[in-house]
Structure 1
Amino acid sequence: MPPVHSSPYRQMEPALFSLLHHTATAATTEKRSSKRTSTTGGLLRIFKLFPMLTSGCKMVALLASGRPRKSLLTDRATTGTLFGHRKGRLTLTIQEDPHRLPVFVIELPLLTAAFHKEMASDIVRIALESETKTHKKKVLEEFVWAVFCNGRKIGYSIRRKQMSEDEVHVMQLLRGVSMGAGVLPPPPSEKETVAGDGELTYIRARFERVVGSKDSESLYMINPDGAAGAELSIFFVRVH
């Protein structure tokens, strides 16, 4: 059954509806200097609107330094999907191509309903921090992550080596979807319990993937057609 793209939106949070229709309002009305780039201005807006991450999160140093110069980056677009039952936890997948298997899958210690509320603020920063003593792995190959959302530590998660049947079900349904938000039919194994868990909702978008170093990567959501909308950023950092 193909993903639903129309009528279910009346049942969704206003933040998801506005994201799909590109009508989310700007998070601030501060004027930018004409010498700033749009990216730098967006990051400065974030710092003014939200407190810095807790002192226990080494992501502070990464964010405070701003976005690295273009010459230091290996940039490419990637697909990110956040999905889950309204009363369940949120799952994040990262794909280099919507038709390929995810290169990163993790269930975040964040309820889907709580994520929807965060999206209503127009700016969401999810930070994943891994502590390791080796350089042999790529940063996205680490397993144990401390997770922060808008500066608050919300717990720990372990990256999955393999997707569950339910996650495979979602990836199959969204195989032909490049971006959007909506409600999906529940996996066959959950049809009897879906009423208790709530609808299975998703947000899929294209992200600009920025490799700052071997220990840090960032994903910046690309709003369709350059329209103003919610700002969603995901940061990965490895500390030693």
Structure 2
Amino acid sequence: MNLINLPTCNVLSLPSPPSSSSSVSNQLISLVRGGSSSLGRRVTGTLYGHRRGHVTFSVQYGPRSDPVLLLDLAMSTATLVKEMASGLVRIALECEKRHRSGTKLFQEPKWTMYCNGRKCGAAVSRGGACTESDWRVLNTVSRVTVGAGVIPTAELGELLYMRGRFERVVGSRDSEAFYMMNPDKNGGPELSIFLLRI
């Protein structure tokens, strides 16, 4: 197995929205910026997927703990790599609020996804339900705190991953955000992921 460390992402404060951002992205940002938002714990986030497949985003409270969130994003791994090269990636996920629903935000099954203001399609949340292949990836990278690399696999070719610490910001029961942070402050690309139920 070859693990390759690459520059990681750095978001220590909320970046200003680009002029091309969608109204959904701006609404997410304003909700999380609101005075009621609270800084939560830092969590471990992993983005991974086969080069020609879709990306999965995993959130864990610790590097070896069970995932509390698994999102299958409406974006290919190759597309995410291209977006990261631009220096700023803002992923916004929006779902519809159902009346009298006690569903937790992480348990909402279907999301509309936007990346840098462009609609990408439907993302699917699996809550914390890991498949065997998810566990293989997360166990393989469990000792990686911050980094990116390639995991050779026999079935579908190389699997790419990017892993780091995220600041979790809770705006309300209907809005949360994750900001990937780089402790070295090396000016790498910025990544933020917003979840909004409206």
Same fold (TM over 0.5): yes
Which residue type is aligned with residue 155 of structure 1? Answer: G
Match of 2:97 among 106, 111, 132: 132
Provide runs of 4+ in structure 1 moved above 6 Å. none
1:5 aligns with 2:4: yes
Cα distance in 1 for partners of 2:193, 2:102 equals 23
Match of 1:96 among 56, 61, 75: 61
1:143 aligns with 2:142: no
Gaps of 5+ in 2: none
C-alpha contact (below 8 Å) 2:37/2:169 kept by paired residues? no
Larger RCO of the pair (alpha carbons < 8 Å, separation 6+): 2
Label 1:66 to 1:157 Cα distance change in 2 as closer, same or farther (>3 A): closer
Percent identical across equivalent pairs? Answer: 41
C-alpha contact (below 8 Å) 1:183/1:201 kept by paired residues? yes
Count residues with an aligned counterpart. 195
**CA-atom RMSD, angstroms?**
2.2
C-alpha contact (below 8 Å) 1:43/1:66 kept by paired residues? no
The one-character-per-residue Cα deviations of 1:133-175 (angstroms, maximum 9, x if unpaired) are 2451221121111111111111112212522221111011012
Q: Any idea what SS the aligned residue of 1:129 has?
A: strand
Cα distance in 1 for partners of 2:34, 2:4 equals 37
Q: Could you tell me which residue of structure 2 aligns to residue 30 of structure 1?
A: none
The one-character-per-residue Cα deviations of 1:10-69 (angstroms, maximum 9, x if unpaired) are xxxxxxx4x24x8x9xxxxxxxxxxxxx73xx522xx24x5121x5x3x43232466234
User: TM-score, length-normalised on structure 1?
Assistant: 0.74
1:76 aligns with 2:41: yes
Cα distance in 2 for partners of 1:66, 1:238 equals 12
Which residue type is aligned with residue 15 of structure 2? Answer: L
User: TM-score, length-normalised on structure 2?
Assistant: 0.88
Q: Which has the larger radius of gyration?
A: 1
Cα distance in 1 for partners of 2:135, 2:108 equals 21
Match of 2:167 among 208, 213, 216: 208
Q: Could you tell me which residue of structure 2 aligns to residue 9 of structure 1?
A: none
Match of 2:178 among 192, 200, 219: 219
